[in-house]
Amino acid sequence: MGNKFAIETIDLKKTYKGKSHPTLDGLSLRIPYGSLFGLLAPNGAGKTTAINIICGLRKYDSGKVFIEGHDLSDGMKAIKPLLGLVPQDIALFPTLTAYENLKIFGGLYGIEKPLLEKRIDQLLELFDLSASRHSYINRFSGGMKRRVNMIAGMLHAPRILILDEPTVGVDAQSRIMILEKLIEINRSGTTILFISHYLEEAEHICTEVAFMDNGSVICQGPPADLIDAYKPCDSMESIYLTLTGKWMRDTQ
């Protein structure tokens, strides 16, 4: 079980201590190999908890998680090298330079020094950051930080790249660039799990999407198929609002 998909969760449940409602209530998610998969959900739907569980940062109450066929309950040792996480927060050391950050993160994956330096050069070039390689992160613009944040998650050429809202708070130019690079990376064979509030983005770049609410998947499929299935909805946004409602979902 679980070998057909890059990521598969089966009936995943998680309730935080002191909460009466489960955050994940039987989440079953199937992310095919090589897909650029969009996970779309309102605030508080449980997507961050789901990502944290997949990355080994949280434990779950019941259910199963498989990453390329490896059962998460057997430990993270075999799984960690397969995954690359680009968190929503800029998870970099602000007082270090872009190069120093990348050298440390790459080094922790055990990449040999010559190869690591080559990868850093390539990725900085790809994301148009070569000129700023020795600048401190705390002097970067928001868009530049986002791009370094992405590079840090893909230095070890992971087979699965998980991005949590990678385009939040960046200008249009940076956003377009990030999305273009994601398509390129996906075409090179990397499975991408893309979490976003920007539904247009997901419609534009994702090969498959899943809508999630109240801790479980409410529908899944390629964007075009979903638009067909949910007529008269003519966009991802209208499907999203139809399925999840229009009320505010602010959570703490």
Partner 1 sequence: MDEGYPMKKFRYLIYKDYLLLKRDVAGLLLMFLMPVILVILMTLLQQSTFQAITDASVPLLLVNNDQGKLGGTIDKEIESSGIFRVDRQIKGKTPSLEELEKEVASSRYTLGIYIPENTTVDIQKNVARYVLSAFSGEEKLPALDRVELIIFVDPTTKASFYTAIMSTLKERTQKIEFAYILKEITRQVNDISPIPISTAGFSGEQVYIDIRDARLEGKNLVPTPVQHNVPAWSLFAVFFIVISLSGSIIRERQDGSFSRLLTMPCSYTEYLLSKAIVFTVVALIQFVLIFLIGVFIFPLFGLDSLKLGTSPPALIVLALSSAIAAIGYGIAIGNIANTYHQSSVFGAISIVIMAAIGGVWIPTFIMSEPMRKMGLFSPMHWGLSGFLDVFLQDAGIKAVLPESGIMLLFGLACFAIAVTFNYRRRLDV
The footprint of partner 1 (CB under 8 A) covers 52, 55-59, 77, 80-81, 83, 85, 87-96, 100, 103-105, 107-110, 152-153
Cβ pair 42, 249 in contact under 8 A: yes
* Spatial CA neighbour of 229 closest among 213, 218, 216: 218
CB closer to partner 1 out of 96 and 168: 96
Distance of alpha carbon 85 from alpha carbon 152, whole angstroms: 8
CB closer to partner 1 out of 58 and 197: 58
| Least distance CB 58 / partner 1 (angstroms) | 5
CB closer to partner 1 out of 26 and 81: 81
* Spatial CA neighbour of 13 closest among 74, 55, 75, 58: 58
Distance of alpha carbon 49 from alpha carbon 244, whole angstroms: 19
CB closer to partner 1 out of 41 and 55: 55
| Least distance CB 151 / partner 1 (angstroms) | 12
* Spatial CA neighbour of 181 closest among 170, 192, 165: 192
The pair of structure tokens assigned to 79 is 């799984």
| Length of the chain measured in residues | 252
In the chain, the largest separation of any two C-alpha atoms, in whole Å, equals: 55
CB closer to partner 1 out of 77 and 134: 77
C-alpha neighbours within 13 Å on the C-beta side of residue 156: 22
Give residues with Cβ within 8 angstroms of 237, minimum separation 6.
199, 200
| Least distance CB 135 / partner 1 (angstroms) | 13
Which amino acid is residue 219, in one-letter code?
A: C
| Least distance CB 96 / partner 1 (angstroms) | 6
| Least distance CB 156 / partner 1 (angstroms) | 8
* Spatial CA neighbour of 229 closest among 55, 220, 129: 220
| Least distance CB 145 / partner 1 (angstroms) | 11
Cβ pair 179, 201 in contact under 8 A: yes
| Least distance CB 59 / partner 1 (angstroms) | 5
CB closer to partner 1 out of 51 and 202: 51
The pair of structure tokens assigned to 26 is 């039987």
CB closer to partner 1 out of 71 and 237: 71
